[in-house]
Amino acid sequence: MEKFYITTPIYYVNDIPHIGHAYTTIACDAVSRYKRMKGFDVRFLTGTDEHGQKIQAAAEAQGITPQALVDKIHLNFKELWKVLNISNDDFIRTTEERHIKTVQAIFAKLMEQGDIYKGTYSGYYCVPDETYVPENAMGPNKTCPDCGRPLILMEEESYFFRGSKYVPELIRYYEEHVKAVMPKVRYNEIMSFLKGGVRDQSVSRTSLKWGIPVPGDEKHVIYVWFDALINYASAVGYLDDPEKFREWWPDVRHMVGKDIIRFHCVTWPLMLLALGVNLPVEVIAHGWWTVDSEKMSKSRGNVVDPFRMVKKYGLDPFRYFLLREVPFGLDGDFSELALVGRINSDLANDLGNLLNRTLQMIASYRDGAVPSCSDSSSPLSQLVPEVLPRVDEAMNNYAYDEALKAIWEFIGRANKFIDETMPWKLAKDESQQEKLSWVLLNLYEALRLSALLIAPFMPDTSKRIYAQLGQDSDPLKCRYDSFVWGDCAGTKTHKAEVLFPRIDIEEWKKAKEAEKKPEKPADTQPEIGIEDFGKVEMRVAQVVHVEEIPRSKKLYKLEVDLGYEKRTVCSGIKAFFTPEELTGKRVILVTNLKPVKLCGVESNGMILCASVKHEGKAEQLTLLTPEKDIPLGSRVS
Ligand code: MSP
């Protein structure tokens, strides 16, 4: 049997799962299900990326070990995949023994063959993103081009991977395999990057503890990306199950977001060349989702929660929308209104109506049994040899939207067939009964095939349609090549049930408005006079130094400059900012609060922040900073 091994990126556990994560995984799920129905032997891997600075910091802030933290939070992803009906065959965590051993063995092998060597690394580093940023890629004022946060200059002893040695071979590979990176625009991007020259990469860190130790030199831990990329190999027995590895590795392909293609199309293949194993057959890069045309981010508070979307609109409409809405590879915009639009038109109107009308007519005109007729060929059956290859070609190119368009054209044609043949008129005419049977059989078959075609995208809906059609088999276990048109005369159908209730747009808009309006806060205070307010002295200050307070999980000790004097202030904002993020920030300080001792440190003032805490969500907190440059010490009133 032909093999098909596909992987999602492994997700950082410190993030709450959002539609970006859901999208990559649903896309892999749909193609895996499709390939299974085409007769491939499929292996679908997903997992979590659990090492690194952010986990270490979050665990410290919560006063627990990093292992305890990841043991808890990786479950968010496992739970989401259950809710999204993801058919992965394996789930790998980078803290698992099978992975750690593989990473160490690979590191040791590359060291032994001289492809990993010791040197010194100095560069600008983004702590939240755990990545060095080359000088030519830095944003204004030495900020991270991805997240915009300040970079810090780091220098450390480091191990380097001699990837540069394999660059010519990689270029040659890509020249010979133009579909190894998809879509074409990403292929071109990678080729020009490779041709611009690639330096050896630092693959170890001494600055953090939470990672896989370098074998034989334990003050270093292995760089998270070097560690993470290996998951694809450790999950299929690279280290201790050569047979399994030989079975799956030749057909490995990775689906990733466009932001991480360099790791997957440069770093990883260079590592594989050094290891002497074949390169991924395909790296498929998808675009990014914005939300109502804005970048999705925690600070904007517009992160779309897939759990919530599924609860509100149902799983299959959500899956359908993500895969149908954007041409794969391009960026897409998520809007609930667009989702509602698709539910009403594509799902309720086109597919739902076709099922309802057909089953009702079979019930009224043929007592619920699929009629037979002498010749089942029709304009619908004639479309089958067109639709199947169209869907196949689209799926081979991961063009989910094209595949769904082809299926919906077929569904649309079936609806039109009802309008053209007008079965309700045929029913009244004794001489047209054979034609009526022909119409009903064809509609039934169109639905049966549609249910199979949508199965990879909407598995539950496919099953529901199959059940209503009176088919006993599980559509997900069917094979496309065993489908025969006209096979089902005599099948007893069931009562039509609404698949997708229509959503009343006006009602929906009203509910949406109500959702937007925040509730009155519970902690509103009694009215005060201006003289009361005037008693609070607030001034512009700048954070000049940040220190941890060893005994405290929440507090930082900050040194702030008011221009006319410097002060020490304790602030409970450790969980929200790194020291680097705070250093240099202008803030508003309440300057006439009575000094107070916190964890042994005297605090002389209070920094103003705005915060919000919604039920079931992490608290959000932001510093108040002056909108323009204004001298330190300026009074706020
Ligand atoms: N841990 C690394 C991957 C290591 S793979 C060896 C990582 N994790 S991630 O959780 O940050 O991102 C995982 C995937 O989610 C990436 O493919 C990324 O492109 C995708 N998305 C994150 N935000 C996204 C959107 N807003 N839209 C679409 N996908 C996005 O990177």
Q: What is the pLDDT of residue 394?
A: 98
- Substitution candidate for ligand 1 out of 268, 288, 323, 326 with most atoms within 8 A of CB: 288
Residue closest via CA to ligand 1's atom 6 equals 229
Choice between 57 and 401, residue whose per-residue pLDDT is larger:
401
Segment 123-135, tens digit of pLDDT = 898 877 777 787 8
Chain center to CA of 154: 30
The predicted pLDDT at position 269 comes to 98
What percentage of the chain's residues is helix, strand, coil (to nearest 5)? 45, 20, 35
**Residues 6+ positions from 616 with CB-CB distance below 8 Å:** none
How many degrees, rounded to 5, is the angle at CA 192 between CA 45 and CA 135?
90
- CB-count burial class (<10 Å; 0-12, 13-18, 19+) for 368: middle
Residue 551's pLDDT is what?
A: 79
Q: Does the pLDDT of residue 7 top 80, yes or no? A: yes
Distance (Å, whole) CA 604 – CA 558:
10
Closest approach atom of ligand 1 to CA 229 = 6
Question: Any residues with CB less than 8 A from the CB of 572 and at least 6 apart, and which?
Answer: 554, 555
**Residue 517: pLDDT over 60:** yes
CA–CA gap between residue 361 and residue 348 (Å, rounded): 18
Instruction: Measure 319 CA to ligand 1 centroid, in angstroms.
Output: 18
Sign of CA dihedral 428, 432, 437, 442: negative
Minimum mean pLDDT range among 12-16, 241-245, 357-361, 448-452: 12-16
pLDDT of amino acid 72:
95
Which residue lies with its CA nearest to atom 25 of ligand 1?
20
Specify the amino acid at residue 243: E
Q: How far is ligand 1, taken at its centre, from the CA of residue 384, in Å? A: 37
**More confident site: 105 or 297:** 105
Burial environment of residue 135 by CB neighbours within 10 A (0 to 12, 13 to 18, 19 or more): exposed
- How far, in Å, CA of 31 to CA of 25, rounded? 10
**CA gyration radius, the chain:** 30
Looking only at the bridges linking them, the beta strands covering 620-623 and 635-636 are: unpaired
How many angstroms is it from 132 CA to the middle of ligand 1?
Answer: 18
- Residue nearest atom 18 of ligand 1, based on CA coordinates: 257
Ligand 1 centroid–CA 219 distance in Å is: 29
Contact (Cβ atoms closer than 8 angstroms) between residue 203 and residue 116? yes
Q: Does residue 493 contact residue 445 with C-beta atoms inside 8 Å?
A: no
Residue of minimum CA distance from atom 17 in ligand 1: 257
Min mean pLDDT across 147-151, 259-263, 330-334, 360-364 is at 147-151
Query: Which pLDDT tens digit goes with each residue over 451-509?
Result: 999 999 999 999 999 999 999 999 999 999 999 998 899 999 999 999 999 999 999 99
Q: Among 196-205, 230-239, 297-306, 386-395, whose mean pLDDT is lowest?
A: 297-306
Cα–Cα nearest to 104, from 159, 58, 59, 156: 159
What confidence score (pLDDT) does residue 200 get?
94
Lowest mean pLDDT across 42-56, 293-307, 464-478, 516-530: 516-530
pLDDT-derived band at 156 (thresholds 50, 70, 90) equals: confident
Residue 303 CA to ligand 1 center (angstroms) comes to 14
User: How much is the mean pLDDT over the chain?
Assistant: 94
3-class state of residue 7 by DSSP? strand
Give percent of the chain above pLDDT 90. 82
Please state the atom number of ligand 1 nearest to the C-alpha of residue 257: 19
**Average of pLDDT values for 161-179?**
97
7 C-alpha to center of ligand 1: Å? 13
DSSP string, 468-514: HHT--S-GGG--GGG--TT--TTPBP-----SSPPP-HHHHHHHHHH
pLDDT of residue 419: 97
Q: Where are the alpha helices (DSSP H) in 84-183?
A: 97-112, 167-176
Sheet holding 41-49, edge to edge: 90-93, 41-49, 3-12, 252-257, 282-286, 181-182
Cα-to-centroid distance, 574 and ligand 1 (Å): 26
The predicted model gives 387-410 an average pLDDT of: 98
Question: What is the average per-residue pLDDT within 413-425?
Answer: 98
Whether 614 has a pLDDT exceeding 90, the answer reads no
Q: Return the closest-CA partner of residue 453 out of 371, 493, 394, 379.
A: 394
pLDDT confidence of residue 617:
60
pLDDT digits (tens, 9 = 90+) for 582-607: 999 999 999 999 999 888 899 999 99
0.85 surpassed by pTM: no
* Window from 58-67, 310-319, 325-334, 612-621 with minimum mean pLDDT: 612-621
- Band of residue 137 on the pLDDT scale cut at 50, 70, 90: confident
Q: Quote the CA–CA distance of 479 and 37 in Å, as a whole number.
A: 5
**Count of Cβ atoms closer than 10 Å to residue 85 Cβ:** 16
Residues with CB under 6 A from ligand 1: 9-12, 15, 20-21, 23-24, 49, 228-229, 231, 256-257, 259-260, 288-289, 296
Nearest protein Cα to ligand 1, atom 29: 20
Based on the number of CB atoms within 10 Å of its own CB, is 267 exposed (0-12), middle (13-18) or buried (19 or more)? buried
Model pLDDT, residue 615: 56
Compute the distance from residue 429 Cα to the ligand 1 centre, in Å.
61
Q: Is the model's pLDDT at 432 over the cut of 90?
A: yes
Q: Tell me if the bond preceding 327 is cis, omega within 30° of 0.
A: no
Separation between Cα atoms, residue 265 and residue 170, nearest integer Å? 9
Are 247 and 238 in contact by the 8 Å Cβ rule? The answer is no
Nearest atom in ligand 1 to 289's CA? 27
Rounded Cα distance, 226 and 110, in Å: 12
Query: Ligand 1: distance of its center to the CA of 260 in Å?
Result: 7
Q: Whose CA is nearest to atom 10 of ligand 1?
A: 11
Distances (CA, A) of 518 to 211, 291, 440, 615, 620: 42, 20, 52, 13, 15
pLDDT one-digit tens code per residue, 309-329: 999 999 999 999 999 999 989
Query: pLDDT class for 618, splitting at 50, 70, 90?
Result: low
Following DSSP, what letter does each residue of 188-226 receive, concatenated? HHHHHHHHT----EE-EESS-SSSPEETTEEEEEE-HHH
